[in-house]
Amino acid sequence: MKKTKLLIAAVFILLFGLQFNALGSEYVNDLPSFIELFIDKKYMKIDGEPYQLKTAPVIDNGRALMPANDILEKLNYKVTYNNYTNEIYIQNEECNITLNVNSQSAYKVSLNNESTVISLDTAPKIINGSVMIPVQLMEKTNNCKLIWNGDERKITLAFMTWGGGYIGAGSMIEFLKENGKADNGITVAVIDSGVDITHTYLANRIVNAYNSADGSNDVTDLNGHGTHVAGIIVNSTPEIVKIMPIKPYDRNGNCSIDSIVKAIQYGVNMGAKVINISLSKSIEGHNSEIEDAINEAVRNNCAVIVAAGNERGNTEDFSPACVDSAIVVTASDKNGEGYAEANMGKTITVSAPGVSVVSSIDGDTFGSKNGTSMAAAYVSASAAMIMMDLPEISCNEIKNLMIQYSDDKGSPGFDTKYGGGILNLNRYVYNRKNGIIYDFTISAEERIKELDIDISKAKDELNKEHIEIFGIFLKDLYARDLVSRAVRLYERKDYFAAGYYFENAIMNGDCENGLAKNNLAYLIRRGEYVSNNYKLEWLLSQAKAEGQPLAYINHALLEASKNNWGETDRIIQEFAKKDINCSDVIKVWQKLSYNNDTEGDLVLGLLMRYGLFDGEGHSQREYLDRAVSKYPQIPAWLYENCN
């Protein structure tokens, strides 16, 4: 199985979350998310609130038409009709759209003067003096989805919510479509108050509903909370993403520990790859049964997203927000400020929009809610899309990647209010399109040109030096020099340049003991570099064959990331049987351990298991316990005979 190629950048610039509104412009505050139109009725609903219309929407020859002025002005557009030419002009700061009452074609011109012809199934009309445009135009010119409710003769125009725009969900959906990954199915289990599975916005996205309190399929929503959460996920993901509603509450609204555990287990057993847990009230104190269930889900590579809770307390005092292996989410508002009611704590992973978020509610309509539950839903949607893009990614890699691609807020670096910051998928998409680069202001191709010039200069200098000393150019010394330069670049966290230098060292014959091959494998394995020239497994096998001791540890960690613990242990045993001085190996992983990188803790614990390291005042159990935060799937048998 191939190792997922994560794109983790060393240095970043802030890329603000973008929202695509009705006809494709960037994020603007306070635009509607959902507009409900009722055929032949002179009123509509905007995000659940009623508004009067001067003219009612109609069905004409089987096609829906809506009053342009009444509706588009709510979306910051100006509509003009020329009764001499029969042309209709729809304008805002981002684009101009021209229609004609005698034509089923529309013409859109964007800011960059890019022109698009749009085919419609019917022409606009003038009815009783009102400009009526095809509802289909909204779907054809932007990310709007049209939902028809035949019973109520209602059409819902569903746009990306402000929160989805803020985190870059629209950019992520487009990226998946452009790369043929929008059809990679993912199911998100929503453990909550239930879901209104009859809601027309959700209906075609629901699978395998279950009540873990009584074993039935009755997930009738108690208060609209779960329906709201499900709607956020639906709004922020491609249509292939399904919702699995799991209700742990009985008919009286009671929720037991056992029903929560069963809910998590059901989600895993039924194939959910993401589980969203937003309980109406957090459970006080640490609960080992819930923690074990979440850890088991993560072992099965099912990402568990947990709302931090809204008690103004510490996440470490509530379950499941205290569980380290979960991705714990807090909430922020449109200005990026933290939600005042949210819990804080060391277990928080990231923040996401959670204030004034509009989504589906009971009654087949829409409304606004606040809380960390709303934020968790956006992160669950993001986790699902990352899995669609990178199917082999592990839960821990998703967690680390989300922290890496968050915009820092609060105190510099990680803090107990925002975690790693506010999630920003725009940065993820930018990196995926441009490669891993130390500076997001230039492309990968431009960066490579710069590095090629530097490498060429270094070669010319060494060539002159070698000719003067040895009479010939020595490629092995040149490769060794490239490795030394690569190590210095890595220490400066310029991962792209380091990986590129290691590749060039390999192309020039590597240096002794396969060091360049091992180091390049290390970068690829940790998601710090993507190589188009070398496969991770080949690099490790070659480095081991050439006698590189660190390659054994790299290989063991690769197997650990795949949850192949038997193979991990076998590789360490093989390493232990070789006559190798471990002092240099230990120094490498001790440095990681000192810097709170749990890879170092796991390696030191494994080396102690076979007497290759004395622990220097720490026990094997202590090292393994620290490693559990990154490797919650560590099997119990690795603890056997721990000191």
CB burial of 436-469 (b: ≥16 within 10 Å; e: otherwise) equals bbbbbeeebeebeeebeeebeebbeebeeebeee
* Element spanning 605, H or E: helix 598-609
The bridge status of strand 154-158 relative to strand 34-38 is antiparallel
Indicate which residue of 278, 373, 561, 593 is catalytic. Answer: 373
For 347, which DSSP code? T
Tokens of 506: 């390999």
Q: Is the dihedral of CA 449, 453, 458, 462 positive or negative?
A: positive
Indicate which residue of 225, 319, 332, 351 is catalytic. Answer: 225
Give residue 355's identity as a one-letter amino acid code. V
CB burial of 282-298 (b: ≥16 within 10 Å; e: otherwise) equals bbeeebeebbebbbbbb
Angle between the 515-525 and 549-561 helix axes, to the nearest 10 degrees? 20
CA–CA gap between residue 580 and residue 572 (Å, rounded): 12
- Which residue shows structure tokens 């490579």? 448
CA–CA gap between residue 245 and residue 267 (Å, rounded): 9
Is 192 catalytic? The answer is: yes
CA–CA gap between residue 621 and residue 609 (Å, rounded): 10
Rounded to the nearest 5 degrees, what angle is found at the Cα of 343, between the Cα atoms of 338 and 346?
A: 95
Q: What separation in angstroms does the CA of 373 have from each of 25, 190, 279, 490?
A: 28, 11, 8, 39
Is 481 catalytic? The answer is: no
HSE-up (13 A, CA, CB side) for residue 416: 10
* Element spanning 15, H or E: none
Secondary structure class of 606 (helix, strand, coil): helix
Please report the beta strands in 63-214, taking only residues with DSSP state E, as ranges in sequence order.
63-67, 78-82, 87-91, 95-100, 105-110, 115-119, 125-127, 130-134, 145-149, 154-158, 187-191, 210-211
CA–CA gap between residue 81 and residue 39 (Å, rounded): 23
Indicate which residue of 47, 70, 192, 324 is catalytic. Answer: 192
- Which residue from 536, 529, 537, 484 is spatially nearest to 511, judged by alpha carbons? 484
Is 228 catalytic? The answer is: no
Residue 367 pairs in a beta bridge with: 359
CA–CA gap between residue 138 and residue 329 (Å, rounded): 33
CB burial of 400-429 (b: ≥16 within 10 Å; e: otherwise) equals bbbbbbbbbbbeeebbbbbbbbbbbbbbbb
CA–CA gap between residue 28 and residue 48 (Å, rounded): 19
Residue 67: cis peptide before it, omega within 30 degrees of 0: no
Give residue 387's identity as a one-letter amino acid code. M
Residues labelled catalytic = 192, 225, 373
